[in-house]
Chains A and B, each alone.
Chain A
Amino acid sequence: MVEQRFDAIVVGAGPSGNAAAYTLAKEGLNVLQLERGEYAGSKNVQGAILYSDALEKLIPNFREDAPLERHVIEQRLWMLDDASYTGMHYRSEEFNEEKPNRYTIIRAQFDKWFSQKVRDAGATVLYETTVKELIRNTSGKVIGVQTDREDGAVMADVVILAEGVNGLVGQRSGLRDELKPDTVALAVKEMHFLPRDVIESRFNLKGDEGVVIEAMGSVTLGMTGTAFLYTNEESISVGIGCLVSDFTEKREAPYELLERFKSHPAIAPLLAGSEVKEYAAHLIPEGGYNAIPSLFGDGWLMVGDAGHFVNAVHREGSNLAMTTGRVAAETVVRLHRMRKEMTKANLAEYQERLEKTFVLKDMRKYRKIPAFLHGNKETLFGLYPRLLSKAAQTWFRVDGLDKKAKEKAIVSSFRQARTLRGMIGDAFKLARAWR
């Protein structure tokens, strides 16, 4: 293959792998990065919102040439029932800042750009190359990888597994278990193209401003999941995802769920007249803190989705991926400089460093949320959105009924559907899981 020995090998060219390879190469290490796709991003799917902070820590001037779509100035949170939605909108002129905090992006284009930065920094990047397994020495230390190329073995002091949610290399090398159906969501997504002036007038935007919508409620048919609609420059990303275990149990077709969401009266007008150019599916690790596997061992580290680093409540993943990739690489750089071995004991520093970042703090804070959401899906994703819509309708309809009677009707509709005790219980459980 190529030169047969490296300081480090990075498996995967998503945000976590790119962050790791970039950091290593910039610090002068001899890095090989392997990606199975024809180009970086050709296998990757995201909503997608990019959070500036994590990328800024790597490439401070990324705004100069990164393929960004729109900076987000408005966030909508919608609870849907079949005919209506109750929503919260937050829009602020302050998001029109000089260095915006969040952007929408198109992953295939963004990953390609990031990958070019990795190559510019001096890493050797090989595409169209799938890593089959890890190579270990007699004492079990990882010393390289076996690829699907001819003479495909390559050696390195350390291997960083940035292979994403379907981390076959890590699983098949026994570094962690197979994913469980109730810890991963399956999401499907379409790209809808519209002229930019149509998008801007539909969403009340000027220039590069963007809106993102997160929706939950009857569209997931009682399954644990959410839907989204994000504005890009000349397209709209629209998708929906639910836990794999719920899909299996309910036997719902994901694309039918997506159609249902697209035809919802709140969504359909936003997409009207668009041309669809892609349909994609991808898993999201949603098991939270309790699903995080071992992150390091003799000669290896795990970063990004492979390490289950997604905060499902805040819908953050790529920023955790970039941060874990960077921190893993910084650990390797330091050990390399001090001529220390890449042993399990020394690489433990990665986890110690992560403890000090928002990544593990946030993951730990929400450790009980996945079980709570899953355990109460019928109420949270079905009943409450329905009740809320009903209450709003009763409240806003002017029909000769006096206001006190309306209040009573609302309260009793909640009570009928869910006992007061049940509701207090839900609120209490949520509060506890949130802490």
Chain B
Amino acid sequence: MSTETDSVKVEEKLYYNRYVVDAGRPHVKIRPHEVPSQALLALTKICPAGCYALNDKGQVEVTPDGCMECGTCRIVCADTHDIEWNYPRGGFGVLFKFG
């Protein structure tokens, strides 16, 4: 499948989009953990905005600035209770011009 060379940079895609970031009030949070669950590990790959990444201690971190509010991570972690998911405050978050 995809090799390093043909893999795309999701950051470049998100760059097309418009966001109103609610600074200091992330709408997606990960509960503190030592060892990430399989569900959390999957998110580092399947979040369409690439918001999830492993840090150097082997834990999963989320940076929801580019989040498109799809809800996938919430559903994937519904059973593990790894994350707390809310909509951003009214008016904040992604703003689709086309949708």
Interface mask (A181-201 → B, CB under 8 Å = 1, otherwise 0): 100101010110000000000
Question: Contacts A41-B99, A43-B94 given: A279-B46 contact, CB under 8 Å?
Answer: no
* Inter-chain contact B20/A108, CB cutoff 8 Å: no
* Inter-chain contact B99/A280, CB cutoff 8 Å: yes
Residues of chain A with a CB closer than 8 A to B89's CB: 130, 148
B48 CB to nearest A CB, Å:
4
Residues of chain A with a CB closer than 8 A to B1's CB: 221, 252
Interface centre among B1, B17, B46 (most CB of A within 10 A): B46
* Inter-chain contact A149/B75, CB cutoff 8 Å: no
- How many residues on A have C-beta within 8 angstroms of the other chain's C-beta atoms? 56
* Inter-chain contact A106/B90, CB cutoff 8 Å: no
Interface centre among B86, B91, B94, B98 (most CB of A within 10 A): B98
Residue of B nearest to A260 (CB): B2
* Inter-chain contact A278/B69, CB cutoff 8 Å: no
* Inter-chain contact A254/B46, CB cutoff 8 Å: yes
* Inter-chain contact A108/B48, CB cutoff 8 Å: no
Q: Which of B66-99 contact A (CB under 8 A)?
A: 68-72, 74-76, 78, 86-87, 89-91, 93-99
Residues of chain B with a CB closer than 8 A to A276's CB: 13, 16
B36 CB to nearest A CB, Å:
13
Question: Contacts A168-B87, A253-B45, A253-B46 given: A278-B98 contact, CB under 8 Å?
Answer: yes
Q: List residues of B whose CB falls within 8 A of some A CB.
A: 1-2, 6-8, 10, 13-14, 16-17, 20, 39, 42, 45-46, 48-50, 68-72, 74-76, 78, 86-87, 89-91, 93-99
> 5 shortest A-B CB distances, which residue pairs?
A128-B91, A107-B99, A281-B48, A279-B13, A128-B90
24 A-B pairs within 8 Å (CB atoms) are namely: A36-B87, A36-B91, A38-B95, A42-B96, A43-B96, A107-B98, A108-B96, A148-B89, A179-B71, A191-B98, A247-B46, A252-B1, A252-B45, A253-B10, A253-B50, A255-B10, A255-B13, A277-B97, A279-B16, A279-B68, A280-B17, A280-B96, A280-B99, A281-B70
